[in-house]
Structure formats: C-alpha cells, structure tokens
Amino acid sequence: MSVNEAAGTRPRNEAVPGAEPIIVVDNVSKSFGPLQVLHGVSLTIERGTMVAIVGRSGSGKSTLLRCMNALDETNGGTIKVCGNAVAMSDRASVKRLRTDVGMVFQSYNLFPHLTVLRNITLALTVVQKKARVEAEKIARDVLALVGLADKAESYPEQLSGGQAQRVAIARSLALSPKVLLFDEVTSALDPELTGEVLKVMEDLARQGMTMVLVTHEMAFARRLADIVVFMHQGKVWEAGPPAEIFADPKTPELRQFLSSGL
C-alpha cells in the first residue's frame, strides 16, 4: 500500500496534514496484578514523525512503549501498527510486528558473546535468511551511519556506553523497520556520552524515520519532536507540538513536571 492510497482511505490528521497513522493506540489498559499502570490510553503516531513521551517514572510511559511492541500484553483496548492489530498471543501478528518495528533499550541489550558485526547480522541471516556477505554489507553500512565503522570486530564489552547504544540503534536499523521505539536510551549513559547517541537519533529524524521515544531529554524533545506526549498516572495527560506543551502547559501536573527540571 502506497502512502497516497493510505492517505486517501484514512482520516487525515490535522496536526500533520497528509500523514498516515503508523501506530494507533486505542483505549489501552494494562495492569500488573492489582496495579493498573495504563488507564485507557489513546494515541496516534503518524509516519515520519518523532513523538516524545515524557512523564515521571511510574507514569506508564515505558509500559506503553513495550505494549506497542508486544513485549507486554495489554488488558484492554487495541494497538495497531502499520494496520495490523498487535496481540502477543497471535504469532503471525507478532512476527509481522517484528519486521515493522525496531526497538532500542535503555540497557542496550547487545549480545555479549557476539562481535558488533555479528550482533547486527544475526537477525539478517537467521530471520531474513540473507547471505552472510549481503548481511555484512548492510551491517557495515548501518555502522557507518552511526559512526562506528571501525568497531565491527569489537565485542560489546570493549565499547563505551554511548558506542554500545549506537550499535544497538544500528542493529535495529539494519532490519529497515518502519518505526523505531527508543526506551530511555540515554538514561544509563554518562552525560558526556548522551550527546553522541542523540546526534544519531537527530540524523534519523531528519531522514524522516518514524520514531517514538520515551525520554528524559527535555531539550532534545523540545528541539526535535513533532509531538510531545505527557503521561501521568497511566493516562495521556497532555499531547501536542513541543511549542505548545513547553510554552503553555494546560494542566498543573505538567506545569509541575516541567518546573521540576526532569
């Protein structure tokens, strides 16, 4: 389905005219035992946009991201990614989801026993069944993209945190996902290392990659996000372009959150 077709058959989003919804979260709830962490969350993410989800820890923002990628099961509501309903129990839908969505984690989750190159080629060869040579070419390309072409033969433990996170981004990119999810990817990094990771993300955003990030980097979100979503107590409390969200918070909760410097 081409972008134009899709745009013609689906309601247009007013904020970004002509866009195509790539993730549609509709009235999603999620509980861990007696603890309800998401209360009827609805959210639409358009192709080619960067959406930053912010909020205090425990606000449900990471859980929402994990639900989008079928790492956590929702208890109610629906999530559609690229038109397909996400259901952890439905193998085919999860398989489809994995080809559409890439995810980068706070703790990098590189495979310690594999070289950087093999970390990237693993899924290319065993999932996409690409030939080794082709997979390695793709891997070297994405490594160059994140500025780590010289680290191909290194092992994860030989990398700095910033480098490891860039490799993790490259590993996701190699599978050419339609959307990339970033779960607090700079939170584990020393301040002087976050810059190099944010730089890579900025490049991706400029190239039109659809990105959803859960983040504490307010300056980054303010500068580059198309939409900022403020979550509070498991709900989308406020959402809108960063100019509105940061300059003119409507609710006392958001005002307090922004002034707390987090």
Partner 1 sequence: MISYTFDFSFLLTTWPAFMRGAWQTILLAGSSIAFGFVLALVCAIIRSGKSKLAAGLVGAYVEVIRNTPLLVQIFIVYFGLPSLGLRLSAETAAVIALVINTGAYGSEIIRAGIDSIAKGQIEAAECLGLNKLQIYWHIVLIPAVERVYPALSSQFVLLMLSSSITSQISAQELTAEANMIQSETFRSFEVYLIVAAVYLALSVLFRVVLWAIGEVAFVRRRKLRT
Least distance to partner 1, CB of residue 183, Å: 10
**Does residue 122 touch partner 1 according to CB under 8 A?**
yes
Give the whole-angstrom CA distance, residue 101 versus residue 80: 12
Least distance to partner 1, CB of residue 50, Å: 19
**Does residue 101 touch partner 1 according to CB under 8 A?**
yes
| Residue 119 structure tokens | 């970390």
Rounded to 10°, the helix 161-173/191-206 angle is 20
Cα angle, residue 210 at apex, residues 223 and 170 outer, rounded to 5°: 95
Window 2-31: residues binding partner 1 (CB under 8 A): none
Among 31, 36, 84, 107, binds partner 1 (CB under 8 A): 107
Window 28-67: residues binding partner 1 (CB under 8 A): none
**Does residue 155 touch partner 1 according to CB under 8 A?**
yes
Window 60-99: residues binding partner 1 (CB under 8 A): 69, 71, 95, 98-99
3 state SS of 232: strand
Give the whole-angstrom CA distance, residue 210 versus residue 182: 11
**Does residue 152 touch partner 1 according to CB under 8 A?**
no
| Residue 220 structure tokens | 């980054």
**Does residue 178 touch partner 1 according to CB under 8 A?**
no
**Does residue 127 touch partner 1 according to CB under 8 A?**
yes
- Relative to beta strand 21-32, strand 35-46 is antiparallel
Please work out the total of residues on this chain that contact partner 1, with binding judged by CB under 8 A.
29
Phi, psi of 180 (to 5 degrees): -115, 130
Tokens 């358009």: give the residue: 46
Least distance to partner 1, CB of residue 2, Å: 24
**Does residue 255 touch partner 1 according to CB under 8 A?**
no
| Residue 18 structure tokens | 């002509």
What residue ranges bind partner 1 (CB under 8 A)?
69, 71, 95, 98-99, 101-103, 105, 107, 109-115, 122-123, 126-128, 155, 157-158, 168, 171-172, 175
